[in-house]
Amino acid sequence: MVIHNEESVKLPPLENGDRLTRDEFEKRYHAMLNVKKAELIEGVVYVASPLRFESHAEPHSFVITWLGVYCAATSGVRLGDNATVRLDLDNEPQPDALLRIDFGQSRISDDDYIEGAPELVVEIAASSAAYDLHNKLKVYRRNGVQEYLIWTTYENQFTWFRLRGQEYLCLEPDADGVIKSEVFPGLWLATNVLLEGNLAKVLAVLQEGLNTSEHTDFIHRLSQPR
């Protein structure tokens, strides 16, 4: 997000804890060319710190690879990596990863941002103390993100929330240790294998999900005229 003009230079920089409207947040974010990730959560600004490798960058790459394979096999589903999402007037997060359905509950704005809640969001959090498990969780729930996945890397835990009514409930692994998405048929994740760092096995389990009739039926439904 880049704007070069005299007005943008005069804007105050974004600072953690600033309380801004979404419009003011976007103006300042556009003007700060050195900032790679900033979010507005409940009207409060959060500017990301530099990211460590094992606690964020590598887990992030695993998640993107897993979702990327699913997206490649599923026409009508789109993957975003650190995409800005305009959820409501007080919340503009930039989730680590998301899946959205074309003609689903979100849209792409004229200026190329996501507006509305993607069906699935993933966040990589250092620990359970992170705002991903607190304020941001409440925001995603309230705005209707159907599945919210959080990998807390220091505790080495993976939590998969499913929205039921107005509450998030945790999806549990089956007898084989696999969690299966209820919104994206065929999106299977062997969570323990992921936490062990075995990406090859994670993708092998995903392929089993992609080979199911449920996944084939999902692609067929998405291909129907709207």
What band does 7 get if pLDDT is binned at 50, 70 and 90? Answer: very low
Residue 8, C-beta contacts closer than 8 angstroms, at least 6 positions apart: 27, 30, 31
Maximal C-alpha separation, the chain: 60
- State the burial class of residue 222 (Cβ atoms within 10 Å of its Cβ: 0-12, 13-18, 19+): middle
DSSP structural state of residue 10: T
What is the sign, positive or negative, of the torsion defined by CA atoms of 32, 33, 38, 42?
A: positive
This prediction has a pTM of 0.91
CATH number of 53-222: 3.90.1570.10
pLDDT tens digits for range 11-35: 888 999 999 999 999 999 999 888 8
Q: How far apart are CA 87 and CA 139, in angstroms?
A: 8
Measured distance CA(102)–CA(76) in Å, rounded: 5
CA 169, CA 156: separation in Å to the nearest integer? 20
pLDDT tens per residue across span 179-203: 999 999 999 999 999 999 999 999 9
Angle between helices 58-72 and 199-210 (to 10 degrees): 20
β pairing state of 120-125 and 114-115: unpaired
DSSP 91: B
| % of the chain at pLDDT higher than 70 | 96
How far is 208 from 185, CA to CA, in rounded Å?
11
DSSP state of 132: G
The model's pLDDT over 100-132, given as tens digits with 9 standing for 90+, comes to 999 999 999 999 999 999 999 999 998 777 778
Predicted confidence band of residue 133 (pLDDT cuts 50, 70, 90): confident
Domain layout of the chain by residue ranges: 6-47, 53-222
pLDDT at 48 over 90: no
According to the model, what pLDDT value does residue 4 have?
43
Torsion of CA 93, 71, 56, 132, to 10 degrees: 30
